Amino acid sequence: MSNKNKTSDSENHKQENGSVPGGELHQVAGGKHPALTTNQGVPLSDNQNSLRANPHGPTLLEDFALREKIMHFDHERIPERIVHARATGAHGFFELTESLKQYTTARILTEVGEKTPVFTRLSTVAGGAGSVDTPRDVRGFAVKFYTKEGNWDLVGNNIPVFFIQDAIKFPDLIHAVKMEPDRGFPQSATAHDTFWDFISLTPESMHMVMWIMSDRTIPRSLRMIEGFAVHSFRLINDAGQSTFVKFHWRPKLGLQSTVWDEAVKIAGADPDFHRRDMFDAITAGNFPEWEFAVQLFTQAQADSFPFDHLDATKLIPEELVPLKVIGRMVLDRWPNNFFAETEQVAYCPANIVPGIDFSNDPLLQGRLFSYLDTQLSRLGSANFHQIPINASKCPFANQQRDAHMQMTQPIGRVAYEPNSLSDDSPRETAAGFRSYASTETGQKSRIRAESFADHYSQARQFYLSQTVYEQAHIASALVFELSKVDHLHIRQAMVGHLRHIDEDLAGRVAAGLAFEKMPDPPSAAKPVREMAPSPALQIIGKMKNTLMGRTIGILIADGSDAAAVKNIKKAATDAGAVVKIVAPKVGGATLADGSMLAADGQLAGTPSVLFDAVAVILSEEGAKNLFTESAAVDFVRDAFGHLKAIAIDKGGQLLLKIANVGHDAGIVDAADADVFIVAAKTRQWDREKSVRTLP
């Protein structure tokens, strides 16, 4: 393990506690450990026994140590986020590589080479804080930039569009997707009646439905997801001119997803799969990295688009407005404390810096209020910005005072402005934030723009842009989800919507649901427009030919060939993969040459779903000993079913035969490590039709 990110517990303690007013921390005699104290700094001699009147007597009310400890424990939890409760967070930096000075005055986007601290939080949406990492769900992608001009929060998802066009519908969407209130389930799942009832009555959601039913919502790793700010924003230059911008994050490791059966089994094998993956990568020095890119366009260009860029259910295809890479983000430090940082971090899209401004996207406009409001509820004070993870790293000063949990000590008699009684109180500055000087006219109404009325064209474009494998996965996902819906009229309504997107897709889903006849499509507010397919919307077509960031599992047992194991491990490691040894016993196995090889995981607790490809290196005797071990049979059967490359020797071949696993180009002789490495860099997509029935 690299030492780049390792900090001792004692060092962490010093960083967080340092010294106390009046002297150093109390020390335990003869050691390096600080003395255990109360929150008032009183050293404790016994933290294991309450104060009693006698050994069998009642506990005394005067026991201040007991009361403080229990009181604090009773109040440890704060309200969890209504959405995005389950998350992984990490510190890092953003580095600008190309200036946007002609477009903006924001220093973070103009000072090339400057490294700005960031804290990034990646999350699921629907599940609670205790749910699992791998459900079919959108992933939140939120970055807090601690810039020289204040904090900038870029808060989005791993999908560039959203379910709704107007923020007033957000409570309804979330009420529909969350656990049904009369029964308290399902947890972190969309496969239930209330969600699909809402969706079936909300045509604007159809584009997002295509994305959530795609493999984008079952990612292999949080290090392998894209990020999007979803909305259009404005960049303002020093002449006051505006350019629209959409922000994108693109993973250095490329995109990769799981397959559905694999995602389900990972949830059982390791509920913390994504969080552990991120932790392991950072602590090993394999720092996750993303390119930062922008789409820049003028109002004149926006007027020519066949859609409205202010509509959050629409994206701007990369073929129409190419991405311009201007920087990178690297996550290189795990939080010292999960609650203090990952849980207490408070993002708000309203946190922007001079040179950046908002568009009139109605969903964005609602978020500008909602995020601030929810942080007040969760963190209990208007002073939540003073919590270290939320505090600006640049100086900040104003006339705001007092309130619950005030952590600073403002001085002087002046707490207002303008004033004439203080020579050093904060004042406005000409270089401060200025909103774009837009002209707005019209009549107030609750009517949406006509340009928001096309609900199917981009949904169709997305579906037709996918590879045939990804199209099959979308159809399968829809069949699975709708099969969990009890009400027939909801299933019928959804298939009706699908007919506007693609008749073949609708037919596949209808067949999977055993419909005797096709439901009629609903009336469409606007006719479906044919848009050119966008290969940029695929995953398979964009996967990188690499094993960087991937993990190879090698199954061994007593008698395994040491040379074969060594060769596979070296080839995989040289290709950038992490290699894990799996054995029937956690202690490892004795190889054929008499050496003992330690295991990274025990077979029953380390299934093949945790790896991107596997090698099975067994002696004939070792293989026979595993014939009746279901975990061994499932290890190879699942690897085959999840379309992974498998390297085998003679013993491995025997295990595959017992598991009734067939042969194809992805089953490789372990003696040819180079061929295995090539196969391991991708899924064996052609195998899929032989291992599962697709709609």
Dump pLDDT digits (tens) for 659-681. 999 999 999 999 999 999 999 99
My answer on whether 121 and 192 are in the same domain is yes
Structural tokens at position 115: 């490294």
Q: What angle do CA 322, 255, 502 make, to 5 degrees?
A: 75
**Residue 189, domain member (yes or no):** yes
**Residue 247, domain member (yes or no):** yes
State the pLDDT confidence band at 430, using cuts at 50, 70 and 90. confident
**Which strand (E) or helix (H) includes residue 621?**
helix 620-625
Smallest CA-to-CA distance from 567 within 477, 647, 479 is with 647
My answer on whether 314 and 220 are in the same domain is yes
My answer on whether 242 and 349 are in the same domain is yes
Dist CA 648 CA 565 (whole Å): 11
Q: In a 10 Å sphere around its CB, with 0-12 CB exposed, 13-18 middle and 19+ buried, how is residue 636 labelled? A: buried
Domain boundary among 509, 540, 571: 540
Residue 4 has pLDDT above 50, yes or no: no
Dump pLDDT digits (tens) for 279-324. 999 999 999 999 999 999 999 999 999 999 999 999 999 999 999 9
| Residues 612, 680 contacting (CB under 8 angstroms) | yes
Mean pLDDT of 565-569: 98
The predicted structure's pLDDT at residue 18: 40
**Residue 241, domain member (yes or no):** yes
My answer on whether 68 and 107 are in the same domain is no
The predicted structure's pLDDT at residue 15: 43
Residue 14 has pLDDT above 60, yes or no: no
My answer on whether 493 and 575 are in the same domain is no
Residue 23 has pLDDT above 70, yes or no: no
My answer on whether 92 and 201 are in the same domain is yes
Dist CA 407 CA 361 (whole Å): 36
Q: What is the CATH number of the domain that holds 182?
A: 2.40.180.10
Dist CA 674 CA 645 (whole Å): 12
Give me the domain span that covers residue 479: 467-540
State the pLDDT confidence band at 24, using cuts at 50, 70 and 90. low
Smallest CA-to-CA distance from 497 within 537, 459, 452, 450 is with 459
Strands 646-648 and 613-616, how do they pair? parallel
Domain boundary among 331, 361, 386: 386
The predicted structure's pLDDT at residue 694: 83
**Residue 414, domain member (yes or no):** no
Mean pLDDT of 193-219: 98
**Residue 300, domain member (yes or no):** yes
- CA distances (Å), origin 325, targets 100, 140, 247, 291, 534: 11, 21, 10, 7, 19
Catalytically annotated residue among 84, 192, 231, 497: 84
My answer on whether 536 and 641 are in the same domain is no
The predicted structure's pLDDT at residue 2: 43
Q: What is the CATH number of the domain that holds 617?
A: 3.40.50.880
Structural tokens at position 563: 């040379």
Concatenate the DSSP letters of all residues of 103-157 into one string.
T---GGGTSTT-EEEEEEEEEESSS-TTS-S-SS--EEEEEEEEETTEEEEEEEE
State the pLDDT confidence band at 25, using cuts at 50, 70 and 90. low
Domain boundary among 336, 361, 386: 386
Which residue's entry shows tokens 């848009």? 531
Dump pLDDT digits (tens) for 95-153. 999 999 999 999 999 999 999 999 999 999 999 999 999 999 999 999 999 999 999 99
Q: What's the 3-state SS for 225-274?
A: CCEECCCCEEEECCCCCEEEEEEEEEECCCCCECCHHHHHHHHHHCCCHH
Q: Which residue has the higher pLDDT, 692 or 332?
A: 332
Residues 6 or more apart whose CB falls under 8 angstroms from that of 307 comprise: 314, 451, 454, 457, 458
Dump pLDDT digits (tens) for 58-109. 999 999 999 999 999 999 999 999 999 999 999 999 999 999 999 999 999 9
Which residue's entry shows tokens 């619950």? 404
Structural tokens at position 120: 């990034």
DSSP three-state, residue 356: strand
Dump pLDDT digits (tens) for 222-242. 999 999 999 999 999 999 999
Residue 362 has pLDDT above 80, yes or no: yes
**Residue 456, domain member (yes or no):** no
Residue 8 has pLDDT above 90, yes or no: no
- CA distances (Å), origin 11, targets 41, 342, 346, 612: 20, 20, 26, 36
Strands of 40-86 (E only): list them: none
My answer on whether 210 and 193 are in the same domain is yes
Q: What's the 3-state SS for 543-555?
A: CCCCCCCCEEEEE
Structural tokens at position 384: 């939540």
My answer on whether 532 and 572 are in the same domain is no
Q: What is the CATH number of the domain that holds 50?
A: 4.10.91.20
Dist CA 680 CA 113 (whole Å): 36
- CA distances (Å), origin 617, targets 330, 554, 658, 687: 37, 7, 15, 23
The predicted structure's pLDDT at residue 431: 86
Smallest CA-to-CA distance from 367 within 297, 302, 312 is with 312
State the total domains in the chain: 4
Dist CA 660 CA 667 (whole Å): 13
**Residue 164, domain member (yes or no):** yes
Percent of the chain residues topping a pLDDT of 70: 96
My answer on whether 525 and 595 are in the same domain is no
Dump pLDDT digits (tens) for 603-650. 999 999 999 999 999 999 999 999 999 999 999 999 999 999 999 999
Q: What is the CA radius of gyration of the chain?
A: 28
Q: What is the CATH number of the domain that holds 523?
A: 1.20.1370.20
Which residue's entry shows tokens 């103009």? 110
Indicate if 84 belongs to the active site. yes
My answer on whether 96 and 151 are in the same domain is yes
Dist CA 129 CA 123 (whole Å): 10
Measured from the Cβ of residue 322, the count of other Cβ atoms closer than 10 Å reads 11
The predicted structure's pLDDT at residue 28: 73
What is the chain's mean pLDDT, rounded? 94
Catalytically annotated residue among 91, 151, 157, 192: 157
The predicted structure's pLDDT at residue 695: 83
My answer on whether 283 and 180 are in the same domain is yes
**Residue 20, domain member (yes or no):** no
Indicate if 360 belongs to the active site. no
